[in-house]
Amino acid sequence: MTTSLSRIPRSRDAGRFPAHTAASPAARDPRPAPERPLETEYRPRHPLDLRRTVLYQRHGAGDPTMTVSGSVIWRASRTPAGVATLAIRETHPGVVRAAAWGPGREWALAQLPALCGADDDATGFDASRHPLIADAHRRNPGLRLSRTDLVFDALVSAVFEQKVTGMQAFGAWRRVVTWCGERAPGPTPQPMFAPPTIEGWQHVPSWIWHRAGLEPPQSKTVVRAARRGDAIVSAVLAAEDGEAVDRVLVSQHGIGPWTSAETRIRALGDADAVSVGDFHLAHHVGYALAGARTDDDGMLALLAAWPGHRQRVIRLIGAGGAMEPRRAPRLHPEDHRAR
């Protein structure tokens, strides 16, 4: 892997991030003018589909921590060094340029290769074991498994998504992070926010959980986890493999195999994690690999042909578009927040 994470001076080359005009939202921002960013260039040695890889970390189109403006992907995060805003774009094939603002900017730039899938090791993966997977793998050579190394944020977002539709979960995430998070630094194309601190999650008022649309079981799980948040993060990062991480996470009250898998996929780029218990996943995997619906046990049996790479196969199924056709109208959840 070849990376360059040194400071790169501003220049007028084609890779420079464009300045905002006076009519742009950032120009009307009442905050002080943003500091000069740190910039870097990353040249992955592997093919990279930047959008498909990085935007997997987004929680719906309205996610206040991640947005897309033109060719630039903007990401706000709470790093171990503080809040950071990261703007990344592919300036030429195989060249990713990034700029970062905020106290956590150096950490965010150092983590850029992992965010772009540099740590994703496909050794031992044999796509030829199924024609659909072989075709999807051939047509998507740049699909990588991204990792953020931000364990608690990934855990909280997974708890938000427990037992509800994506629309409900993404809406609740957007509201709570916007109301209780921290405004992201830099000339973002729209107001963006980093999630609360671990301590901040403990003190989210009950009325905010209710107005955001998150059910009490999920909000209580977030608060309980936050009380042990530092210990959970330390134990996860010290774990030797995915099974050890899973044991740490599922030992927490309210966190089961599905939440553990979702956390490992986003935070650690776990190529073998399978979200057992998902409402749709087993049906999609069964439809793609066997031509018919199946349950969780059947899904695990089908994925057993790719030990160590089951999540990779699931991602390729999604990229290949082999999804089970919908058989009914989309669920329209009731909104109880005004009650």
Which domains are present in the chain? Answer: 30-129 (3.30.310), 151-320 (1.10.340.30)
Cα 125 from chain centroid? 23
Whether the per-residue pLDDT at 22 is higher than 60: the answer is no
- Per the structure block, which two tokens stand in for 27? 């120009």
Cα distance between residue 235 and residue 110, in whole Å:
22
pLDDT at 136: 96
Encode pLDDT of 39-86 as tens digits. Answer: 999 999 999 999 999 999 999 999 999 999 999 999 999 999 999 999
The answer to whether the beta carbons of residues 192 and 76 sit under 8 Å apart is yes
For residue 66, what are the contacts with CB-CB under 8 A and spacing of at least 6? Answer: 55, 57, 58, 59, 73, 74, 75, 76, 192
Whether the per-residue pLDDT at 334 is higher than 90: the answer is no
* pTM to 2 decimal places: 0.86
Predicted confidence band of residue 165 (pLDDT cuts 50, 70, 90): confident
- What is the average per-residue pLDDT within 160-189? 94
Cα 181 from chain centroid? 17
